Structure 1
């Protein structure tokens, strides 16, 4: 696993830094990547990287402030337009599903892949054969969650 920071600025972008987004490259383990938050400009940062939207597997949203979610509907739409056909799961606080459904319906975005929103309020929120993801509520003006990705032990290691 390898982290790539796509945006690290708070609130609004600057000429040098985009708002919040981070990619967790999992190419050796899963041949995919995960995205944590999706502020405006995330698509542009992905274009400047070796990441491909068709390889995006999960998106994890920490909270629903605009600098963490305003890039999400456009990124999801672009993923479809660029040939993404594998399912995409978006995890985040309550209200995320309504935000995405409203944005994508009003814009009449066509999704060529299945997408699902998993709203949560912390705890163990994802587990498969390779990893588990736990979430813990953080202190912020609105409900906000930190994520912990734990790689499971492998036989012989």
Structure 2
């Protein structure tokens, strides 16, 4: 709102209605303000509609993420499963310090058997140490951190 408009709106009624010219100026300013108000109302309505659409899309995306998380949730343990669970703590032996060091399981992979037996595979466990370095060991060379903490020795 301009200073002229503020001044015209703020002037005493008697002064605004004193002459034909001042009445016409006052009316013109009032009409311009009504047009501006209507424009702003339409803009606010458009923003509301846009925000509501944003909220709807956001809710749909959150629901989809929830479904994907549930679909990607780890399967429950299988009786006799030998693979340590993703994010579980395991120990691998590091020759550099001749010690068993705790790592976090981050994945697995399998290679063909060295003897070319199509029914056998070498299974590796991918692990990450506390500093974020990735390593891998044959499944047979990985120990459960919980089991060793309870007295198992190897």
TM-score, reference length from structure 2: 0.18
The structure with higher relative contact order (CA 8 Å, sep 6+) is 1
Structure with higher strand content:
1
Structure with higher helix content:
2
Larger radius of gyration: 2
TM-score, reference length from structure 1: 0.18
